[in-house]
Amino acid sequence: MEKKEWILPYLKENAKLFSLVILLGLLTAFSAAFLMFTSGFLISKAATRPENLLLIYVPIVAVRTFGILRAVSRYSEKLLGHHIILKVLSHMRSRLYETIEPRILKEGSSINTGDLLGVMAEDIEYLQDVYVKTIFPSVTGIFLYAVAIALLGAFSWVFAGLMAIYGAILVFLFPLVSLLVTRKNVAKLKSCRSSQYSTLTDGVVGIGDWVFSGHQKTFIENVEKEDAEIYKEERRLSTFVSYRNFAAQCIVAIIVLSMLVWTGNQSMNGQISHTLIAAFVLILFPLTEAFLPLSDAVSEIPGYEDSINRLKGLSFEQPYGEKDDEKNVWKNTHLRFDKVSYQTKEGQWILKDINLEIPQGTKLAILGPSGSGKTTLLKLMKGIYSPSEGSVSINGVETSMSKGDKQLLSVLNQQPYLFDTSVLNNIRLGKPSASDEEVYEVAKSVQLHDFIVALPEGYQTSMKEAGMRFSGGERQRIALARILIQETAVVLLDEPTVGLDPRTEQALLSTIFQVLEKKTVVWVTHHLVGMKRMDHIAFMEDGEIVMEGKHDELLMSSDRYRRLYELDAPFQLKNSHVTEKMIG
């Protein structure tokens, strides 16, 4: 599959459901056509005053049947169609977020707020029309055209050929002309609207600047100028559509008159019953109603292309759907910092010449006072920042270029956000496709299952806003369960025990290292409790690693580390900021 595709992947993923929607659309069109056909026959037959009531009773039942079938199939088509579109739209929004998140978080991001809102409000929403306004009507219309000509050919291939030419004008010629004429207009119109989003957003965000600088008039003039340009393009497009629709209605009138003349001649020659004249004429109206929207459907294609091009231009990303197959690649991970330095836009060096090797399963502790560069180190691992010098790589791939980190890295921080929904949903947030049994298993792993089951509503118990219903240790365990269900190979611990009492802290650390035994763990902390569990310890100061090694080695070789450990570990300090002061 090509990278950066925004249409084809969703068609393939939902092929069966899309096919069902199209079948329901065809059923709706056929029901409408045969409703008109039987209605025309019923009216004509009733006008002959038949002696036997059964001669019109069957058409009456058919009219009611097709009328009900049309309503039911149309409702089913709309219901299923909107279900699929909302599903696709949800995936598109999630994918857009994953695409732009790394660029927004980076310093000096090239995406401004106006452009971002333009893409989210204009392009993503616009792409849902690909299916509703273009794909579904086009497939239905072309299929009906072919079937109608084939059925008419059973009566007369000569007349069927003539009607095929008329129908081709509506089904193929007018849509082609519409595409050629509107390609430039639609693209320009979308560009103007996107520009207006950017202008208005920048104006609202920077309202203080242009008010105090006295540029209100300039701002309003720019907005009015863009409004005028949009109105001009809309008028031009509207004028063309009006002339095109008038011409299409003229073609429909010619088709109806041709059918009326042909059926009249056929009836006079005894080829068909005179009661079928109205039936043949009336069936044209639902058929042509299916043909007329095709011009509008094809006219939208330039707009889709413009939206897709903007989405493709956001950033490099993995092909959609390439998740589970790629996941196994990251099971055996090797993180490496090779002479990494990081400098801010202001020229301040946060990290200097950092070298680290972190093989799969390593337990690494990063110690150091605030401002020593620990948080920047984590952001480099996650690919949020790119190093100013050197490289940060995962299995040889730089983290800033890899999208695999979404499946590789998970983070347990000081205050994990928990939503005002059930415990089950909060854990399942890590893996939306997870079954209830999978959630129960990870809850057991973090020693929460019995506690949750004992709650008034069990796993359906609401956590309230930010999880305030639960204690700090319970919230961290729920967040840990969310991480476990993600099945990532690397877990970053960003001070997860801050604010917990010593007993809760010890219990949580014991659980963390038990359930993360086979995973790579990078633990950023001020607290030296638990250092015995670590394979490697790196102590940072002023953006540099000033000492590193195993816990026992540092106790023997570093007086500073030994003093810090003796001060910290035996007393189980409740407040990590006290330890931070000692470290500093």
What is the widest separation between alpha-carbon atoms in the chain?
A: 116
> Amino acid identity of 314?
L
Q: Over the range 260-290, which residues count as b (16 or more CB within 10 Å of their CB) and which as e?
A: eebbeebbeeeebeebbbbbbbbbbebbbeb
H-helix or E-strand containing 144? helix 136-153
Which percentage of the chain shows pLDDT scores above 70?
81
- pTM comes to 0.56
According to the model, what pLDDT value does residue 168 have?
A: 95
333-583 shares the fold of 8-312: no
User: Nearest CA to 79 among 24, 116, 123?
Assistant: 24
Do residues 423 and 439 touch, judged by C-beta distance below 8 A?
no
Going by pLDDT thresholds of 50, 70 and 90, the confidence category of residue 384 is confident
Sheet holding 536-541, edge to edge: 409-412, 490-494, 520-524, 363-367, 536-541, 544-549
Among residues 193, 196, 191, 192, the alpha carbon closest in space to that of 223 is found at: 196
* Phi-psi group of 558: left, alpha or beta (phi > 0 → left; psi -120 to 50 → alpha; rest → beta): beta
Q: Are strands 389-394 and 544-549 parallel, antiparallel or unpaired?
A: unpaired
Instruction: Answer whether residue 462 shows pLDDT above 80.
Output: yes
| Least confident interval from 227-236, 316-325, 379-388, 410-419 | 316-325
Assign 130 to helix, strand or coil: helix
Query: Can you tell me the mean pLDDT for 234-239?
Result: 84
Q: Is 466 left (phi over 0), alpha (psi -120 to 50) or beta?
A: left
Looking at domain 333-583, its CATH superfamily turns out to be P-loop containing nucleotide triphosphate hydrolases (3.40.50.300)
Give the span between the Cα atoms of 351 and 340, in whole angstroms: 7
pLDDT digits (tens, 9 = 90+) for 148-159: 999 999 999 999
Q: Tens digit of pLDDT for each residue in 193-232?
A: 667 766 666 666 556 555 556 666 776 777 778 788 778 8
- The predicted-structure confidence for 95-106, as pLDDT tens digits, reads as follows 777 667 655 555
The kind and range of the H/E element at 473 are: helix 472-486
Strand 335-343: give its sheet, edge to edge. 349-358, 335-343, 389-394, 397-398
Q: Cβ contacts of residue 490 below 8 Å, gap of 6+?
A: 333, 335, 381, 408, 409, 410, 519, 520, 521, 522
Pairwise CA distance, residues 38 & 216, whole Å: 66
| Angstrom distance (rounded) from CA 228 to CA 218 | 15
473-500: pLDDT as tens digits: 888 888 888 888 888 888 888 888 777 7
Q: Secondary structure of 38-51 in the HEC alphabet?
A: HHHHHHHHHHCCCC
pLDDT value of residue 211: 59
Q: Is the per-residue pLDDT at 437 higher than 60?
A: yes
pLDDT above 90 covers a percentage of the chain that reads 26
Measure the CA–CA gap between 121 and 96, rounded to whole angstroms: 12
Assess contact for 392 and 399: CB atoms under 8 A.
yes
Q: What whole-number distance in Å separates Cα of residue 438 and Cα of residue 575?
A: 35
- Name the nearest CA neighbour of 354 among 334, 370, 373: 373
So where are the chain's domains?
8-312, 333-583
**Cα–Cα distance, 474 to 478 (Å, whole number):** 6
Q: Say which CATH superfamily domain 8-312 falls into.
A: ABC transporter type 1, transmembrane domain (1.20.1560.10)
- Tens digits of residue pLDDT in 327-369: 444 457 888 899 999 988 888 899 999 999 988 889 999 998 8
Round to whole Å and give the CA distance between 163 and 142.
14
DSSP tag of 422: B
State which of 141-150, 290-299, 322-331 shows the largest mean pLDDT: 141-150
DSSP H or E stretch at residue 97:
helix 54-105
CB proximity list for 231: less than 8 A, separation 6 or greater: none
The Cα 422–Cα 409 span in angstroms is 25
Distance CA 533, CA 295 (A): 69
Residue from 524, 534, 536 nearest 355 by CA:
536
Angle at which helices 15-47 and 284-291 pack, to 10 degrees? 150
Q: In this structure, what token pair is assigned to residue 401? A: 């270029």
Nearest partner of 579 among 492, 413, 565, judged by Cα: 565
> What is the Cβ-side half-sphere exposure of residue 69, based on CA atoms within 13 angstroms?
19
Picking from 59-73, 348-362, 405-419, 537-551, which range would have the lowest pLDDT averaged per residue?
Answer: 405-419
Is residue 549 exposed (0-12), middle (13-18) or buried (19+ Cβ within 10 Å)? middle
pLDDT for the residue numbered 324:
41
